[in-house]
Structures are given as C-alpha cells and as structure tokens.
Structure 1
Amino acid sequence: MFTTLISAAELQQLGNNVVVLDCRFRLNDADYGRAAYDAGHITGAHYLHLDYHLSGTKNGNNGRHPLPEGQRLAVNLGSLGIAPDTQVVAYDDAGGMYAARAWWLLRWLGHESVAVLDGGVQAWQQAGGVLDQSDPERNATRFSMAPARESVVTLDDISANLCTPQFLLVDARAPDRFAGENETMDPVGGHIPGAKNRFFMLNLNEDGLFKSAQQLREEWLALLDGQPLDEVVLSCGSGVTACHNKLALEHAGLHGARLYAGSWSEWCSDSSRPVATGA
C-alpha cells in the first residue's frame, strides 16, 4: 500500500487493483489539463479537473478553490471504481502541485491507499512508460467514506488565532506573493499576520522529484522550531499547494498538520481583515 509517494517504476509493477487519476491543470488556462489528457495520458487514467471535480462552488467569499461537498466527491470517486481496498495514484506535470490536492481529498474522505506519482508524467515517460489516448474503463462501485485522515480549520479559527495564538500558520505560496509583491491571482497582496512562509517547490529537488524523507524532516523541523505538528496549520492561495506541503510532511513522517482550505483567497475577500506584508 502506497500512502504518500510512488515512483514510476513502482507504478509500473502494480497489479490491476489500481485507479490512476490525471490531475493536470494550469491556473492561467483552465482548459489545459483536459487538452493534455486527450493528447496522451497514462493508460487507464481518469481525468479530474481542479475547478470541476476537486473544488466546490464559489460564492465570492469562500476562496478560489473551496472544498467540494464530500458526498458529491464520493459519488464521483465511486464512479471511477475506487473501492476501500483500491490503490489510487494521482499525477500531474507540475511537481505534484495539483495531484497533492486529489491525494488530500481522498484522505479527507478516509481513503488511505492513495499516493502521488513522484515526478509526475515526466518521470513516467523517463521510466519508459507510454501515454495513450484511449478512454479508460469505468468499473463503478460505491465509494465508502470512512473517518477522515485529514482535518481542516475554518475562517473563524484563523481569526481567533490572531487574538489567542493556538497554532502556527505556514503559507505555501512563493516568497514574493507571501510578501505582497507581484500578486496576480488575488485582489490583495500579502499574508495572514503571524504566518511563516514555506514555498511548496522547496519540497522538490532540481530533478522535480521530492527530496528524501530525511531531508524534508530536517528542513521542516528547522522551520517549525519546536512547534508541535498538531499545532500547525497549512495554507496557500486557495488550498491547493498547501496540500503539497502536507504531502511533504507525511512523507517525512511528520503527522498532524491541518489545512486551512479557504487560504489567502478567502481571507482577503473581506477588506476588514488584517493583512501583513514583507518576509
């Protein structure tokens, strides 16, 4: 059972009881992922769109990628043949940026056997894996929701934490956006006061693969500086790349961090909320 990362070679060795999810996407081109999937995907993979499948309905105040309704997501996953004992593998072409969201969501619904393909479609091809354009078979089943393996904090929790600190907020955005510079995704630049910055791309080596568990553990423990993991909350722009940081923590054996799904895009939707800038 793979629960964090899986290599291309390991995926090639898996048997039939596996469902592969193609999560390719670009924030500046919502049609990119589907087009890339149609041009060629790992055999048998199903496509999941960040906006339509891995997010819920936006209302202008709940961020750019609010969590989907759990029961609806469970029905969608069941239609792809994901049963309790199914190994799920999610991949993209962006270092796991979007695949980690699918990984987190399945864990949120209680599914343990889910992993991200380390290095994505690029690693798959480098390992001799082929891409095809065939439609995958759908062996629909009932997705059984189980006790969640992931938990979230709410906007109210974040607000209360400003007055009475109970946890450390770690923001996964690039340092310039965290500092309030070069903001292109949201109407306001900056970050939630008190947050620390850990750019999600720091979880990867130059080859696009995740750093070793030991290296990630050392880096994260240095950042957290003694903060207990159950007092760590992960955020980003819209609750997507924060999942990448969660994946890195789990890979490093550091368990317990929670997600602020609304993240910066929810926080900054109300101009009365405080904003911090700078590193």
Structure 2
Amino acid sequence: MSKQSPYVVQPDWLADHLDDPGLSIVDASWYLPAQGRDARAEYDAAHIPGAVFFDQDLVIDPDSSLPHALPSPLVFEQHVSAMGISRDDTIVIYDGPGMFTAPRVWWMFRLMGAETVFVLDGGFDNWKAAGRAITAEPPRIAPTAFVPHYDAARVAMFDEMRAIVDDRSLQIADARAPGRFTGEEAEPRPGMRAGHMPGARNVPVMSLSENGYLKDLDGLRTTLQAAGIDLAKPVVTTCGSGVTAAVITLALESLGTSGHKLYDGSWSEWGSRDDTPVEAGPAGAPNA
C-alpha cells in the first residue's frame, strides 16, 4: 500500500486530538462565485470545534490590486496572532470540499516559518458527512504572538516569473482547469486573456485528489509525471490567483522534491497584462 503525504492528517486523528494543548484548527474555505457557497456564512453555521476562520480575502497585501496577494510578514503576523495561533503550534487547516483552498493557507504558514502544519484530508464536507463533531459556537481565542520567519525563496514574483518563462529555468505547473489552460474557456475575471504561459504544463487541481482526499504518493507521482513534470527538476506552480497552485506545491513537497516556488500573481497578473507572452492550445514542448 502506497504511503500518504506527511503533510495531511486523517479525520480520525483530528477527532481524537481536538482537545490537545497547542493544537490550532483553521477553516480556510474560500469559493469561486460559480460555486454558490459563502465560506464565512458556512463557518458561522457549523465548523470543527475550536476552529478559527482564515479569510483569504482579508489576509492579503492591502496595497495590491491582485486577488489574494500574499501579505507581508507583518500583516500576516497581525492577523494570525489575533487568531490565537503561535508558530510553534500544531496547525491543522481545512476547507469545505477538501484539497481546494486549504493548501494555500498551509503554504502561507510554512512560508512564514511554521513547521508543524497539516491539511485535513477530505475536508469539512466529508467530516460532516461522517457525523463527526461540529459546532456553531465561536472559539475562545487568546491572542498570542506569531513571530514569522519568512522564506522569500519559496515565492516567485512577476519579474522572476518573466525570467523563468524566457529562459525555461524552472518547469511551470498550472493548476487551472484544462479549458482555461488551453484558452477554450474564458477566464472568470474580466479583462483577462485566455491561454497559458509558454512552456507550462497543465496539472488540474482536481487531478491530485479523489473525493476531497489527496492521492497517495504513488498517485501523486503518476499524475504529475503524466502531465509532463520531471520530479527531478524544480517547478514553479501557478493557477488563477495563487490559491489552487498550492495544491500542486503540496503534492511536490509530499514527494520530497525541492527548489520549487509558487507564482503569487498567477494568471490574474500574467493574463491581465499586455506585455506577457501567452499560448493557446495544449502544452507544447517540455519546459525546463
């Protein structure tokens, strides 16, 4: 039997450890408009006991016009400290359907120096369906001090991404749906060109999980390799706004790869400019 990612925890484990000291549970749900779900309203109605809500539209760079732009370490510290989360806590992050938006917050915590961070396998929808404990009670929060240790090497910003596309120094893995990647479907955000970055490979976010549960290591390896990703070489991950790209990052780290980055601006930045190269159709020649 293939091993599971070391960065996920199973629902049974979390159910048995809800009262552990030093455990922080984070609801990181966020939805596209087309999904017709309100993450905050759902959290207020029901969440895992003790969970705090991490608003991915609020914990951002307030000076950026891009959606979900990565906050500075100081801004992250302010928000997360108010949630009562310490960098030394065991942090378990979940979203509604599982393996959709929780990995973005998992990546952010690790980027800011937290080491014991996990994603709940299966998400909250499966947690509820199994009849596990839920509550509408707001958690009791004791503000603390989350002191970040920011690792800038894990992030690709625009100028670096432009160089990566030009010199093919890293492989590019795009988590958007196939129709958006090929340009056959319009982007959901207005004013954005369709297609993908030259040399990119398509790894649709849903291809890495089954029913909200992250594939085992053999399944992740097979999926990434089938998409044309060479696991012996570094990768930069991207998507629509930098959120689901983190699911690919989670898969790569689960397999023990190193040297990869996440392009924070993603297609919201690249596709909205008129000075960036864009290709349509399926992936072409291999990148890096």
For structure 1, list consecutive stretches of 5 or more residues without a partner in the other structure.
none
| Residue among 16, 20, 29 paired with 1:24 | 29
Does the 8 A contact of 1:19 with 1:80 survive in 2? no
Matched residue of 1:74: which SS?
helix
Does the 8 A contact of 1:58 with 1:65 survive in 2? no
Describe the shift of the 1:24–1:87 C-alpha distance in structure 2 as closer, same or farther (beyond 3 A). Answer: same
Q: What's the TM-score once normalised by structure 2's chain length? A: 0.87
Alignment partner of 1:165 is 2:168: yes
Q: Residues 86-105 of structure 1 correspond to what in structure 2 (within 5 A)?
A: 86-105=89-108
Does the 8 A contact of 1:25 with 1:33 survive in 2? yes
Tell which deviates more after alignment, 213-222 or 72-81: 213-222
| Residue among 202, 222, 229 paired with 1:197 | 202
Equivalent-residue separation in structure 1 for 2:274 and 2:196 (angstroms): 13
Give the structure 2 partner of residue 146 of structure 1: 149
How far residue 3 of structure 1 moved from its aligned partner, in angstroms, is 5.9
**Structure 1 residue identity aligned to 2:124:** V
Give the structure 2 partner of residue 51 of structure 1: 57
Equivalent-residue separation in structure 2 for 1:225 and 1:26 (angstroms): 28
**Structure 2 residue identity aligned to 1:156:** D
Give the structure 2 partner of residue 82 of structure 1: 85
| Residue among 268, 273, 276 paired with 2:271 | 268
For structure 2, list consecutive stretches of 5 or more residues without a partner in the other structure.
283-288
Equivalent-residue separation in structure 2 for 1:173 and 1:116 (angstroms): 20
Give the structure 2 partner of residue 106 of structure 1: 109
Matched residue of 1:132: which SS?
coil
Does the 8 A contact of 2:173 with 2:238 survive in 1? yes
Does the 8 A contact of 1:3 with 1:113 survive in 2? no
Equivalent-residue separation in structure 2 for 1:193 and 1:149 (angstroms): 25
Equivalent-residue separation in structure 2 for 1:252 and 1:5 (angstroms): 13
Encode CA deviations 1:100-151: one digit per residue, 9 max, x unaligned: 1110100110101111111111232244312111110112111121253961
Does the 8 A contact of 1:9 with 1:127 survive in 2? no
Matched residue of 1:277: which SS?
coil
Describe the shift of the 1:137–1:149 C-alpha distance in structure 2 as closer, same or farther (beyond 3 A). Answer: farther
Matched residue of 1:25: which SS?
coil
Equivalent-residue separation in structure 2 for 1:201 and 1:6 (angstroms): 19
Matched residue of 1:42: which SS?
coil
Encode CA deviations 1:242-264: one digit per residue, 9 max, x unaligned: 00111122223333321111011
Q: What's the TM-score once normalised by structure 1's chain length? A: 0.90
Describe the shift of the 1:242–1:86 C-alpha distance in structure 2 as closer, same or farther (beyond 3 A). Answer: same
Q: Residues 4-19 of structure 1 correspond to what in structure 2 (within 5 A)?
A: 4-14=7-17, 15-19=20-24
Identity of aligned residues (%): 34
